[in-house]
């Protein structure tokens, strides 16, 4: 009986390995260990690793000359007992026509979200189908996510010439009849970068933000600002400072400080962290 089980296991392994041998499979990821805290009354200095990931991607040239690909990522963290959460799962086909993807797909409404993304994201990965295509200096994207009575449809376009980039994007949730919009521009020169962005959430809420950055050698610096406008969270502001240094061998050391201020001072909060990462 044991010999039969062993033979069956070998047969299953051979079948599973056969298509993998024909494809280009890449495993990558990084381990991030964080030491951080905040100025909240009950906050304590503690370790976490919520930014650790393991990513597996595979691609294969099809008979048509197109490329088929797939991706699977697992996010790990100390705070959840070392367990993992599946993320960024998708299958796609790409070629001269563009990139068609199903599964977890990019939200084109984020095409204008190039700076100040620290108070609220206008979109995120959606479960559905997406298309991305490049035409000269322009990149266009559309996505559709069926969600019962509240389908989400997104579209966006980016222009990039030299160090200058401009992006706009929007999405509509059909059931809730809400529309989100984003517009942003960025410019890079040498090791420096500058970006500004505006977002509208269709609920009397808007944000405006900006980001400046500089990198030289293994050192990177960034300062991001975002402020709320409109009737929702009016007056809320957040400033983020980032600094990083590459130690070599895939090891990096970074620090981040977030300073949040609001009209109601009881909601003010400053948090900080130091993180060391190892990429592979």
pLDDT tens digits, 222-243: 999 999 987 877 889 999 999 9
Q: What is the pLDDT of residues 127-164, one digit of tens each?
A: 999 999 999 999 999 999 998 778 999 999 999 999 99
42, with CB counted inside 10 A (0-12, 13-18, 19+), is exposed
Give me the half-sphere count of Cα atoms (radius 13 Å) on the Cβ side of residue 155.
1
List per-residue pLDDT tens for the chain, 280 residues long. 444 444 434 433 443 444 444 679 999 998 999 999 999 988 899 888 767 899 999 999 998 889 999 999 988 876 655 567 788 899 999 999 999 999 999 899 999 988 878 888 887 777 999 999 999 999 999 999 998 778 999 999 999 999 999 999 999 988 778 899 999 999 999 999 999 999 998 878 899 999 999 999 999 999 999 999 878 778 899 999 999 999 999 999 999 999 999 988 888 999 999 999 999 9
- Can you name the residues that pair with 85 across neighbouring β-strands? 75
| Measured distance CA(77)–CA(48) in Å, rounded | 7
Would you tell me how many other CB atoms lie within 10 Å of the CB of residue 101?
21
| Mean per-residue pLDDT over the chain, rounded | 87
Could you tell me the pTM of the whole model? 0.82
Q: Which two tokens stand for residue 222?
A: 């960034």
**Which domains does the chain possess?**
31-279 (2.40.160.10)
112: phi then psi, degrees, rounded to nearest 5:
-100, 0
């Amino acid at each position: 009986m044991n010999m039969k089980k062993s033979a069956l296991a070998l047969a299953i392994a051979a079948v599973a390995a056969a298509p993998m041998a024909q494809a280009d499979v890449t495993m990558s990821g990084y381990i991030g260990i964080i030491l951080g805290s905040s100025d909240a009354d009950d906050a304590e200095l503690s370790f976490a690793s919520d930014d650790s990931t393991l990513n597996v991607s595979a691609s294969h040239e099809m008979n048509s000359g197109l490329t088929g690909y797939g991706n699977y990522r697992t996010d790990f963290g100390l705070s959840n007992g070392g367990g993992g959460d599946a993320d960024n799962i998708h299958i796609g086909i790409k070629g001269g026509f563009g990139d068609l993807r199903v599964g977890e797909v990019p939200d084109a409404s984020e095409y204008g979200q190039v700076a100040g993304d620290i108070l609220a994201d206008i979109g995120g990965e959606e479960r559905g189908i997406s298309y991305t295509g490049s035409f000269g200096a322009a990149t266009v994207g559309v996505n559709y996510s069926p969600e019962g009575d509240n389908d989400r449809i997104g579209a966006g376009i980016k222009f990039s010439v030299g160090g200058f980039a401009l992006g706009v994007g929007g999405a509509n949730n059909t059931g809730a009849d809400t529309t989100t919009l984003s517009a942003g521009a960025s410019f890079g020169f040498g090791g420096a970068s500058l970006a500004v962005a505006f977002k509208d959430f269709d609920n009397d809420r808007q944000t405006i933000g900006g980001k400046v950055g500089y990198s030289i050698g293994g050192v990177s610096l960034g300062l991001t600002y975002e402020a709320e406008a409109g009737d929702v969270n009016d007056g809320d502001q957040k400033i983020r400072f980032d600094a990083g240094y590459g130690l070599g061998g895939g090891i990096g050391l970074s620090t981040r400080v977030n300073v949040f201020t609001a009209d109601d001072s009881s909601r003010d909060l400053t948090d900080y962290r130091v993180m060391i990462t190892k990429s592979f």
